[in-house]
Structure 1
Amino acid sequence: MRKLLVPIVLILIGVFFSSAYVIEEGTCGIILRFNKIIGLSEPGLHFKFPGMDNVKIVDAKIKTTNSPNNVGQEQKFRTRENKNLVVDYFVQWKIVDFNRYYETIAAGNSIENLLLARSNGCLRTEIEKLNIIDVVNDTNNNSHNSIVTRVKDILNSTVKELDKSNSIENQANKDEKALEVNQASMRPFGIEVIDVRLKKVNFPQEMSNSIYEKMKAERNNVFQNQHFQGVKRADEIRAEATLEVTKILSEAERQSRSIRGEGDANAIKLYADAFGKDIEFFSFIRRLKTYERSFTDNDIVVISPDSEFFKYMKLKSDN
């Protein structure tokens, strides 16, 4: 009996470990019995029938899918003005129906590829309704009428159930037609879109280069025009300053001459008043000034000593 007890215990331990499984927080277990979904497992310790049941662990956290622009595939969207824009965006989503989600991925489909295909289609439809300026202004707009809100509502819209004869793969191949009838919902695939955000809106590279060159030329024209205006204004200021200096110097010269004339007139008047009192003294002073101007170091004057010119140079003898 003791010999059988040890194998039985080992078998029970093996059965326990082969039937027990743990679902971690943030994940969900899909229980398959002969590849058919029979239930879901919440986080915690669970048990299954060994050899019959299989458990697929699925990430239940919110996921983020970036637009193809992040992997080098430039997506162009045409506006109402027939101008191309490159829109970089991301979509956040989570699984709400694990059965549908598993059926989708089990059929070989990629949820992220399906999500990007439908998101691109919705964005293309919405951007075609707007001008470039409206798209740029709508980038950070989270109102009910914004692009991202409308796209999220379309992706989360409720659509009619497909016929049982239609597979998930056939449904995925009809994205374009489903979008035309406003059935671009991701609900049939078991996911819900939490948020859609536009990260960046740019022109295509070739258009960006053209716009940059145009802006550069415009800036050069503005620079040249401002430089010309600056040189012109500098010449005007310089001319005004020169004219003002000329006026100031002219006025100063006029006032100087006027003052000098007034001074000379006052001096002459003083001389006249002084000399008028003594004619002989006046004559003497005038003759001295004449002597001063006449006799210099290099001048030779030949005049008779008896000339009237030497009247005041003659010594008078005392009688």
Structure 2
Amino acid sequence: MMTAGLWKAILAIGGIVAVAAFACLFSLREGELVVVSTLGDPRRVVTQPGLHARVPWPIQTLHRFESRLRVMDLPATELLTSEKKVLVLEPFVVWRTNDARRFLEAVGSRAGAEAQLRDLVTSKLGGAIGRLPFTQVISTEPGAVQIETVLEQVRADIDRLARAELGVAVHGVGLSHLGLPLQNERSVFERMRAERERIAAGYRSEGAERAAGIRAVAEREASRILSEARREATLVRARGEAEAAGVYSAAHDQDPELYEFLRRLEAYDRILGKDATLVLAADSPLFEPLFELTPESR
């Protein structure tokens, strides 16, 4: 049987082995970077998650950094446009550590990195805004505002410097607020409103001018069509009257007495009209067609 002392020795040895194993291994999580320094000299950068070997402290030291995206909000700052007009901007920066060794040597911490980025953003953004006229930063004109293009240029400039000097990649530069100092907002908005009203008045005037032109063209076309219709109606009426005269002439040539009789009846019809009543004596000339009989009819 094993004595109590032997068990204690085994447990002690096991504990020593466990402690040694713990001291010689370290784990890396997703979204982390580790710089392994040997006697203060950064020798190795570990980027793959999992267990990794190391020499126990104090020979080797681990420096852990986040590699995930971070967002840093900058305080509101006043910048000048090319016409020296004041704008109030609240920028933000999206960044991450991409070179752990350079990051350790240049800034060493998140606070140090953000302090450097804050200075870079303020400097680069101030220079870019200072080259723009006010209307390319704030405007109601479609396509006039160039701030998005400027922000991308600022991001590219800062990213190049930050990668080379800080071990940081800059993925975005934006504005959470863009406006005017409170004392200037009212006057600027009034000018913008007046400008919009001037443009709207121009559009209305142009529309009225075009409408008048369209009406004039339509009236000329209507007059032309009406004139042609009247001319065509006159021609049709003339042809109809000529054809009627021809028919009357043919009827007169065939039977003059019948022609005169029918013409007289038409005259009576025009004289009496519809639903008219006329009382005449029996010897009235109007009754002659009824009483005059030819010898053949007798």
TM-score (norm 2): 0.59
Structure 1 residue 58, shift from structure 2 partner: 1.2
Q: Distance in 1 between matches of 2:265 and 2:103?
A: 134
Choose from 33, 54, 57 the match for 1:46: 54
Pairwise CA distance, 1:124: 1.7
2:34 aligned to which of 28, 33, 43? 28
Aligned with 1:192 (options 167, 187, 200): 167
Residue 97 of structure 1 is matched in structure 2 by 102
Provide the rounded CA distance (Å) in 2 between the counterparts of 1:127 and 1:27.
Answer: 36
Query: How many positions carry a matched residue from both structures?
Result: 261
Give ranges in structure 2 of 5+ residues lacking alignment.
47-51, 137-143
- Aligned-pair identity in percent equals 7
Q: 1:8 to 1:270 in 2, by over 3 A?
A: closer
Higher RCO structure, 1 or 2 (CA under 8 Å, sep 6+): 1
What letter matches 1:243 in structure 2?
A: S
Give the aligned partner of residue 115 of structure 1.
117
| Separation (CA, whole Å) in 2 of partners of 1:285 and 1:314 | 16
For structure 1, the residue ranges without an aligned partner over 5 or more in a row are 158-186, 276-280
Contact 2:103–2:168 (Cα < 8 Å) also in 1: no
Change (3 A) 1:228 1:88: farther
Alpha-carbon distance between aligned partners in 2 of 1:286 and 1:120, rounded to the nearest angstrom: 113
Q: CA deviation at 1:112?
A: 1.6
Please say if 1:12 is aligned against 2:16: yes
Q: TM-score, length-normalised on structure 1?
A: 0.56
- CA spacing shift, 1:20–1:310, aligned 2, 3 Å: closer
Deviations 1:25-82 (Å, cap 9, x if unpaired)? 642155698xxx4656654122425xx6795541263x5444526xxx4455433243
Deviation at 1:147, TM superposition (A): 4.3
Cα deviation, residue 258, structure 1: 1.4
RMSD between aligned residues: 5.0
- Take 1:315 and 1:6, find their aligned partners in 2: how far apart are those partners? 165
Q: Could you tell me which of 286, 292, 297 is aligned with 1:313?
A: 292
Q: Is the 8 A contact 1:21 1:46 kept in 2?
A: yes
Per the TM alignment, residue 243 of structure 1 is displaced from its structure 2 partner at its CA by: 1.7
SS in 1 for 2:26: strand
Supply the distance in 2 between the matched residues of 1:289 and 1:4 (Cα, whole angstroms). Answer: 153
Q: Is the 8 A contact 2:65 2:97 kept in 1?
A: no
**Which of 242, 256, 259 does residue 282 from structure 1 map onto?**
256
Aligned partner of 2:140 in structure 1 is: none
How many Å apart are 1:116 and its aligned residue? 1.9
Partner residue of 2:246 out of 261, 266, 279: 266
